[in-house]
Amino acid sequence: MAGVGKLLKQAQKMQRQIEEMQKALEARELDFSSGGGAVRVKINGAGKFLSLQLDAEFLKEDGKVVAETILAAVQEASTKAKELNDAEMQRISSAFQMPGMF
């Protein structure tokens, strides 16, 4: 049963690390732009969108171009936030190995 106690301690440590990582990701802000800076998106590392800024001159463009550019900026921001989140989770979970699982 000593192995179970050690495993439980490792799981608790990993849980604390995940909670700390989540707080750090929520505090980290990432900025992205598209259309030469006409669209700016701010997102945190946890994937929560914080702001969207549009250049007034850009809004005079064709609606389809505006929509595509906004979508591209939002998709890039979302992808990068997820990649950051996944990398941090991998860093934490790689230290935790359950016997017989790997």
Distances (CA, A) of 74 to 4, 14, 19, 32, 93: 45, 31, 26, 8, 28
Is the pLDDT at 21 greater than 60? The verdict is yes
Rounded CA-CA distance 49/86 in Å is 17
Is the pLDDT at 5 greater than 90? The verdict is no
**Residues 64-91: tens digit of each pLDDT:** 999 999 999 999 999 999 999 999 988 8
Look at residue 6 and tell me if it is in a domain.
Answer: no
Look at residue 69 and tell me if it is in a domain.
Answer: yes
Look at residue 79 and tell me if it is in a domain.
Answer: yes
Look at residue 37 and tell me if it is in a domain.
Answer: yes
Q: What total number of domains does the chain contain?
A: 1
- pLDDT higher at 18 or 94: 18
Closest CA to 52 of 86, 78, 83: 78
Look at residue 78 and tell me if it is in a domain.
Answer: yes
Query: Domain holding 69: CATH number?
Result: 3.30.1310.10
Look at residue 101 and tell me if it is in a domain.
Answer: no
Range of the domain at 86: 18-92
- Residues of the chain with pLDDT > 70, as a percent, come to 90
